[in-house]
Amino acid sequence: MPTSGPDAMQPALRRRRRRQGFLLPFACLSAALIAAALLPGAAFADGVTPSEARRLRDEVKDMFYHAFDGYMQHAFPLDELRPLSCQGEDSLGGYALTLIDSLDTLALLGDKERFDAAVEWVGKNVRFDINKTVSVFETNIRILGGLLSAHLIASDYATGMRIQSYDDQLLHLAADLAQRLLPAFDTPTELAIRNRPRVWTHITSTAGGGTLTLEFGVLSRLTNDSVYERVTKNSVRGIWARRSKLDLVGAHINVFTGEWTQKDAGIGTSIDSFYEYLLKEAYKAAMHYLHHDPWYVEVNMNSGATVWPLFNSLQAFWPGLQVLAGDVDPAIRTHAAFFSVWKKYGFTPEGFNLATSTVQNGQRSYPLRPELIESTYWLFKATRDYRYLDVGRDILASLQYGAKCPCGYCHISDVETHQQDDHMESFFLAETVKYLWLLFDLAAGPDNIVENGPYKYIFSTEGHLLPATPQITLLDEHCLYAGAFCNGTAGHGYGTGDSSNKHQNANSVPFDDSRTPSDQSLSNILSTTRGYIKGVCPGLTHAQKLGISYSAEEDNSIQQNSGSSENLDESHVIKSSVQAQSSSVILISHPVASQTEGPTSGRSQYNANIVATAESVGTDTAGASSHPEDLVKETESVSEQKEINDKEIASQGSQPTEGRYLT
């Protein structure tokens, strides 16, 4: 693929500006690509049509099977495929990593035959009683998440993928694995130890210690054993309790002393997925100190001074997360900026220096990461703007012509030369291909369990599908954020209202207590209902309406703060309109007016901010329809978030490069 031409960015005018004593010469990127991408409704002359979307969806499916069959034929049961040499390698623990990571993608594609066979093989053959040092973070998101997702699909008739002979084998494996990981949390700070293959270390990344709650929490709900959820929540609380006075967290922390060993704060490498689980609490500070529209930089967590003007590929998940938070306007601009880097090289390098507009030395590779296509999917889902299908088509073309190998798809070792590397990580099948397929399937007329299935689905940071079923979201205890499902024994009345009507869909069943026989238990209702029962539950706290559970000792403080929590503070939301740039360059701008104010003095003032409820994602700041009924990822930032108040933080103790896949 050419690396220059009409789509390539050209060096442009540089402008200097000072920020807290640090002189930053930011080279500007070509306005042509970004401005064209920002124009509302803009599409290329040969924009993707619905019929082409169907063809592209089928091409992505073929892409999946080229890589999956290559793995099964040449690498299985080893962890991962070497797609150039058509061999296999054990990269994580030696338990068929790529197969487990791909299980829910098989289900998403409707391949029941292979899904059944894969689940049966894993249940019979995978064992974790082995002497291996593994990455807690990677094992959690890839293996534990993959097992739980496949279990929830295989055990439920409503998914259409129920396996008749299935007897919770994957759930038993997941519990066994989690038990073996529990010692990692036995530290003085309760922060999780981060182990790498063959290396033991007392330093953990913020992402590594703060991106465990969803999988462990789901396991607690499925096994009725609270220990898994408790230890992971203690870990993420411990990290947040040690944030700086600016409400920023660093990149690495010592799990025994609680001291930060790397104090660079950013949204990318080593921190990225932490924001997915704590977005509500951390978003305001991130936008104030890290956002230089449309880019994001790394700053010192204590002073806020910029230390690293770099775009790294792991940052590309951020626009998708912003969509789920309802902050669509800046997401559009940032996505366009990130995609302009892809257009320049055909791939996104691990690091792109904003000061020089060049690839960062030592960070020239593209290891088939999914973050940019993930954000593309969520932006298309929110806006239905077909420009994002054009983006998807370009990404697909780059993968087909630059990364396709004899037995799968190769890492790109240098985005400028497009030299291939003999590796294919499991997340290529778990995420990259999955999000591409979902994008085109959505445009073609979706027919999959995510869009048309019986549940709303949460996507884990590894892209695993976790249904918001009553058992997981504890609907028998309080209202669900997407509607309401109340416990009749808790003294809350049943009723329907306007707030639930706008979320009605084919899977919704409105009801009130006049239609519910007094002798009919909630469990009976659950057993006969597919999907959500909508309604309004009076007398609940803000957190309960969001579907967040609390331990008993927290209830009093939460209820005291519930009044102020009801009104979400949206002062941090950037409301600048999307428009074409009139100049020949795009510069990193000064923060907008809403960001120039200093950080709030009381942390609790924005503990309730940026909650991705179905209501909050319904309208974006650009005025475009966001299709709230479609924004159903309801990610970790909602389902697993906690309202952390100052009393909790005090009880934890306060003290003044690994990402989702980078160890």
Who contacts 179 (Cβ-Cβ below 8 Å, separation ≥6)?
A: none
| pLDDT beyond 80 at 363 | yes
Kind and range of the H or E element at 215? helix 213-223
Angle, helix 169-181 to helix 112-125, in steps of 10 degrees:
50
Q: Dihedral of the CA atoms 448, 451, 457, 459 (nearest 10)?
A: 80
Give the strand pairing for 310-312 and 351-353.
antiparallel
Highest mean pLDDT among 184-198, 340-354, 515-529, 586-600: 340-354
The pLDDT value recorded for residue 385 is: 96
Q: Which range, of 129-133, 477-481, 490-494, averages the lowest pLDDT? A: 490-494
- pLDDT (average), residues 629-651: 35
Model confidence band, residue 601 (pLDDT cutoffs 50, 70, 90): very low
How does 542-570 read in b/e, with b if 16+ C-beta sit within 10 Å?
Answer: bbbbbbbebeeebeebbbebbeebeebbe
The pLDDT value recorded for residue 165 is: 95
pLDDT, tens digit, 9 for 90 and up, residues 41-53: 443 336 888 899 9
Model confidence band, residue 224 (pLDDT cutoffs 50, 70, 90): very high
The pLDDT value recorded for residue 454 is: 87
Binding site listing for Ca(2+) = 461
- pLDDT (average), residues 116-134: 95
Please give the structure tokens belonging to residue 411: 């890492």
The pLDDT value recorded for residue 8 is: 35
- pLDDT (average), residues 183-198: 78
Mind telling me the catalytic residues? Answer: 138, 272, 350, 371
Of 572, 24, 34, which is closest to residue 298 (Cα–Cα)? 24
Model confidence band, residue 637 (pLDDT cutoffs 50, 70, 90): very low
| CB-based contacts of 125-132 (< 8 A; 24+ apart in sequence) | 125/77, 125/96, 126/95, 126/96, 126/100, 126/173, 127/95, 128/93, 128/95, 128/173, 128/176, 128/177, 128/180, 130/93, 130/94, 130/95, 132/93, 132/94, 132/197
The pLDDT value recorded for residue 306 is: 96
The pLDDT value recorded for residue 504 is: 30
The pLDDT value recorded for residue 156 is: 93
pLDDT, tens digit, 9 for 90 and up, residues 364-416: 999 999 999 999 999 999 999 999 999 999 999 999 999 999 999 999 999 99
pTM exceeds 0.85:
no
pLDDT, tens digit, 9 for 90 and up, residues 18-30: 233 333 334 444 4
Please state the φ and ψ torsions of residue 280, each to the nearest 5 degrees.
-55, -45
CA distances from 513 to 506, 520, 532, 534, 535 (A): 21, 11, 16, 12, 10
- H-helix segments, 295-432: 318-325, 328-345, 371-383, 387-398, 427
- pLDDT (average), residues 593-607: 32
| pLDDT beyond 70 at 314 | yes
pLDDT, tens digit, 9 for 90 and up, residues 238-295: 999 999 999 999 999 999 999 999 999 999 999 999 999 899 999 999 999 999 999 9
Does CATH number 1.50.10.10 belong to domain 63-89+309-444? yes
The pLDDT value recorded for residue 474 is: 64
Q: Are 96 and 453 in contact (CB under 8 A)?
A: no
Report the distance separating Cα 78 and Cα 7, nearest Å. 40
- pLDDT (average), residues 422-434: 98
Model confidence band, residue 131 (pLDDT cutoffs 50, 70, 90): confident
The pLDDT value recorded for residue 193 is: 79
Q: Are 137 and 658 in contact (CB under 8 A)?
A: yes
Binding site listing = 461
- Report the percent of the chain where pLDDT is more than 90: 58
- Report the percent of the chain where pLDDT is more than 70: 63
Q: Are 411 and 660 in contact (CB under 8 A)?
A: no
The pLDDT value recorded for residue 472 is: 84
The pLDDT value recorded for residue 200 is: 58
Report the distance separating Cα 404 and Cα 63, nearest Å. 9
Residue in this structure with the two tokens 């593309």, named with its chain if needed? 376
Distance, C-alpha 451 to centroid of its chain: 18
Model confidence band, residue 195 (pLDDT cutoffs 50, 70, 90): low
- pLDDT (average), residues 313-317: 98
Report the distance separating Cα 486 and Cα 67, nearest Å. 45
- Report DSSP state, residue 362: T
Polymer length of the chain: 663
pLDDT, tens digit, 9 for 90 and up, residues 577-599: 223 222 222 223 333 333 333 33
Q: Where are the domains of the chain?
A: 63-89+309-444
Q: What is the mean pLDDT of the chain?
A: 73
- pLDDT (average), residues 540-558: 39
**Concatenated DSSP letters of 522-576:** HHHHHHT--SBPP---TT--HHHHTT----GGGHHHHHHHHHHHTS---TTS--P
